[in-house]
Amino acid sequence: MSPASLDEALVAAAQGGSAEAFSRLVERHQQAVRAFLRRACGDWSAADDLAQETFLAAWSRIGRLKAGASVRAWLCGIGYNKHLTAVRSASRERARGQAYEDDREVTLDAPAEDKIALEKAMAELPAEQRACVALCLAADFSHAEAAEALDMPLGTVKSHISRGRARLLLALGVCDDAS
C-alpha cells in the first residue's frame, strides 16, 4: 500500500471514529508537522505545544478532510494558522522566549555558527516567507502543496521562496550557484 493510500484508509477510519487510526496518523505525520513548526516559529518548545494543538484540532475537524487531500499539507495548514494566532499574542511570545534560549544550548550541533546564522536569518524573514521556506526548502513540499497548506496563491509561494532563499544564502555567505 502506498503512503497516500494508507493515509486515505487511515483518514476514512478516523472519520468513522477510530482513535487507533488517528493515532497512526499522528505517528506518521508528527515529524513533518513538528519540523515545520520548529522552523516557522523558531521556538522548539512552543512549536511542540502548537503541534499538539494542531493534532487536537485535526481530530475535531477530520470529518471535513476531503478524500484524496494531502494529510501532511492539511496538518501543516492547521499548524500554520495556530502559529499565526500565537504570533499575534505578544505575551505568549515573551513567556516562551526564555525557554527557547534554554533549549538552544542543548539542541545545537556543529557547525554551530552556520546554524545560528541560519536561525537568525530565518527569524528575520516575514512569517509568510518563513513558512514557505520551511515547507519547500526544508521539507520537500512541492510549491503547489505549500500553496494548499498555507492557503496562498502559487505565484506568491514561489516569490516568497525565491526571496527567502536569497536572504538565507546571503546570511550564510553562500554563493548561489543557481543564478
Partner 1 sequence: MTQADDRLKVLFAQDEPPARDAAFSTAVMEQVMRRRFREDVAVLSGVSVVGAGAMWFVWPTLQTALVAVSQGLAPALGAVVLAFCATMILSGGRPAAALGLGS
d(CA 75, CA 78): 5
Q: Report the residue number, 91 or 150, with the smaller CB distance to partner 1.
A: 150
According to the binding rule CB under 8 A, does residue 39 interact with partner 1?
yes
CA angle in degrees (0–180, nearest 5) for 35-40-45:
65
Can you list the pairs that 153-159 forms with residues at least 24 positions away whose Cβ atoms lie under 8 Å? 156/128, 157/132
**Closest distance between partner 1 and the C-beta of residue 15, in Å?**
7
According to the binding rule CB under 8 A, does residue 168 interact with partner 1?
yes
| Residues that contact partner 1, how many (by CB under 8 A) | 41
Contact of 150 with 77, CB cutoff 8 Å: yes
**Closest distance between partner 1 and the C-beta of residue 107, in Å?**
8
With b for 16 or more beta-carbon neighbours within 10 A and e for fewer, the 138-164 pattern comes to ebebebebbbbbbebeeeebbebbeeb
Among 103, 137, 159, 167, binds partner 1 (CB under 8 A): 137
According to the binding rule CB under 8 A, does residue 72 interact with partner 1?
no
According to the binding rule CB under 8 A, does residue 100 interact with partner 1?
no
Contact of 179 with 104, CB cutoff 8 Å: no
Among 1, 91, 106, 176, binds partner 1 (CB under 8 A): 176
d(CA 78, CA 60): 12
Binding residues for partner 1 (CB under 8 A): 15-17, 19, 22-23, 26-27, 30-31, 34-35, 38-39, 44, 48, 51-52, 55-56, 59-60, 63, 108-109, 114-115, 118, 134, 137-139, 165, 168-169, 172, 174-178
